[in-house]
Structure 1
């Protein structure tokens, strides 16, 4: 039995491609050196811009996400674990940073396939990336000191804890920063649930200016961001290569279609879609002696958060070092399906839910917990876990009570990778992404 997380025709019940709109042409500019991030909505065009190099650390605003990212692409951040004895914070850790660079010359980087695995999560020095998970409080506690090299200076960073309760004011991060020699130590408390960070994926911090930054538009306002990022698959001299491309909003689903057929004749319901952040990525262009060229046979079908499906193709690009209009991207797009909710049952989806989350995520110690805050009791709720190929690896039926509760899911026999956790019942339809390392 398979549970499909791809956009098959029967799964979507979508209309034929003949309903597609005409092509719309659009351009965006990331400016010289790609030093502007551009957040883009297929429905509305540019959703906002932000300086690419004004931050060092990004903290997830999700209550139960452990993700903390580093700006290695545009700020040149190099991140290393330098101590697992957290009492050493504030002492001179210059030698320990040098030892870490020698022993592990490849710095820690953000994953480019999921927002859930930031640079601070990419270490086995602690059992849960930068932290361990407290099953009773649901808080995260820091278990490692990091060395953060900005290029101009070096710092020691200790993320002390992430407070995930109470729900009314969480999450709150408490972290410490000092120069690598232990001087100028400070302790910061960062409430990322407060305005202006609420409803966004990350809140940001500049370690050299001691400034908290609001850089993103609301998560519901954009589909993907044009940005530099470090490519996990291209490594030179112990450094992941910096590339320019497209990183998807976490909820986007994309089918990449490379065919010589005319774009207007493609059947968008015939292709498999994935949820990887770099499913659009960087290979829609190529650099050569004649400059940047587009792949004429390549287009993308994109299912956005409201259920609409768009077709998109890139038509031109100027590199960040171009003499005129550097960082320009031209594309064409058309909506090939407009979602119409005609189901009474769908209109009541999640009427019984306040909060759904997985914690810890990535799973820790062979387990994760499905955390549900229900508005009312619901019987016979089906919990299903499927891998990215749709193969069901876990399924169980539960009765959910009103209020806050958690259900353990054993992951010890799951292969490493990404899974989709689906919760369905009367007034409940929710899907969560789970990482198993």
Structure 2
């Protein structure tokens, strides 16, 4: 059986030919916005950060609820009673109550969800799971400070069949309102958002398959809760942080470092305030590993920052694809490698780099648009070795494409973006 040992030397020899792309993202004066970003296709959405109070987890198996702490929302578990105290809530002593915060390392632990009893497998913090009815029944009462500074009392009643039901009211009980959010209406999102101020749900983030990192303010713990400006990665992504690199522009040895699932691995501390502006750690580089659900492959992107401008919330950075897709044989061993550069392409032709360990009987390349239409089908070299093949883009419209390398009936695929 043909096999290829994927060494750092081989990956380096392929990756060093990839184009580096300079890019920037602005979240606005006062860090007013959040920007969702795809490493492949760039900015996906820009949305004001202060138009919501609560974010409800839309993933089927999760039930966490996050608060908009970066915009001033605060949450307290009512210490004087549980749900039975709804009609008698008072805020005497509020300044001594312990505030609840979202985790800054996981999307799965929100301000309502991160404080469950570890000894009780059915406790989800804001409620408990009822095995007989398959319902999470709320048992906790909260006081919440909204983005506009108003205070409300809040009770999450239940999560049943994918529908969150909750109510809120003024502290004196007036203007009581019951609302609901159905997960089925936000099936492709990590979270559905709700503005208590405006009494409406919000679809404010892109499809979770369309973005990799989020440029935003968020609440971190340094060591106490404090709003920072940085970058969080998406669910399912993993990030490698490599420090003390003499030349980050040429460093490629990401495989020798452990990756991290904590969403704030990139975080905020790649920069530091010097009194008038920000200094960037020029010996620090990140490798962002993201799972492409549609093609069933990982992508790995190198990322390093070169500037941060606080007046406009402008992040300036370089990115570079370093991922090498593989063709696996029937025994699971790697038979061939492929990658594309530049990717994305700004109208220039794209080079397919592929490596075959030993002679193959047949090797082909196909390019498909996102509707499945075949745009290119060609035969490739089959002898052992590393080759390049030029994909001419003049006849390809701007958009996403799937490039498929087939070696003796086994496939590797990568997305190609043409701008």
What is the TM-score of this pair, normalised by structure 2? 0.71
Greater gyration radius = 2
Query: Shift of residue 118 of structure 1?
Result: 0.2
Aligned with 1:260 (options 240, 245, 255): 245
Given that residues 41 and 224 in structure 1 are in contact (C-alpha distance below 8 angstroms), is that contact kept between their aligned partners in structure 2?
Answer: yes
Given that residues 156 and 178 in structure 1 are in contact (C-alpha distance below 8 angstroms), is that contact kept between their aligned partners in structure 2?
Answer: yes
- Output aligned runs, 1:84-95, within 5 Å: 84-89=81-86, 91-93=87-89, 95=90
Runs of 4+ aligned residues of structure 1 deviating over 6 Å after TM superposition are: 9-14
- Output aligned runs, 1:14-33, within 5 Å: 16-20=11-15, 21-33=18-30
- Output aligned runs, 1:5-404, within 5 Å: 16-20=11-15, 21-74=18-71, 76-82=72-78, 84-89=81-86, 91-93=87-89, 95=90, 97-102=91-96, 104=97, 106-124=98-116, 127-150=123-146, 152-163=149-160, 165=161, 171-194=162-185, 197-235=186-224, 240-263=225-248, 264-306=250-292, 307-319=298-310, 322=311, 326-342=312-328
Given that residues 15 and 337 in structure 1 are in contact (C-alpha distance below 8 angstroms), is that contact kept between their aligned partners in structure 2?
Answer: no
CA deviation string 1:268-295 (max 9, x = no partner): 1111111001000001111112411111
Once structures 1 and 2 are overlaid, which stretch shifts more, 63-72 or 124-133? Answer: 124-133
Mapped to 2, the partners of 1:191 and 1:280 lie a distance apart of: 32
Q: 1:11 to 1:160 in 2, by over 3 A?
A: farther
SS of the equivalent of 2:34 reads: strand
SS of the equivalent of 1:33 reads: helix
CA deviation string 1:330-387 (max 9, x = no partner): 11011112324545688xxxxxxxxxxxxxxxxxxxxxxxxxxxxxxxxxxxxxxxxx
Given that residues 8 and 253 in structure 2 are in contact (C-alpha distance below 8 angstroms), is that contact kept between their aligned partners in structure 1?
Answer: no
Query: Shift of residue 10 of structure 1?
Result: 8.3
Mapped to 2, the partners of 1:65 and 1:298 lie a distance apart of: 34
Q: How many positions carry a matched residue from both structures?
A: 315
What is the TM-score of this pair, normalised by structure 1? 0.68
Instruction: Specify every segment of 5 or more residues in structure 1 that has no aligned partner in the other structure, as ranges.
Output: 1-8, 166-170, 347-437
Mapped to 1, the partners of 2:176 and 2:251 lie a distance apart of: 62
Given that residues 77 and 99 in structure 2 are in contact (C-alpha distance below 8 angstroms), is that contact kept between their aligned partners in structure 1?
Answer: no
Given that residues 73 and 230 in structure 1 are in contact (C-alpha distance below 8 angstroms), is that contact kept between their aligned partners in structure 2?
Answer: yes
Query: Shift of residue 187 of structure 1?
Result: 1.2
Query: Shift of residue 188 of structure 1?
Result: 1.2
Query: Shift of residue 244 of structure 1?
Result: 0.4
Mapped to 1, the partners of 2:38 and 2:151 lie a distance apart of: 37
Mapped to 2, the partners of 1:227 and 1:140 lie a distance apart of: 31
Q: 1:208 to 1:290 in 2, by over 3 A?
A: closer
Mapped to 1, the partners of 2:10 and 2:81 lie a distance apart of: 55
Once structures 1 and 2 are overlaid, which stretch shifts more, 123-132 or 295-304? Answer: 123-132
Once structures 1 and 2 are overlaid, which stretch shifts more, 199-208 or 330-339? Answer: 330-339
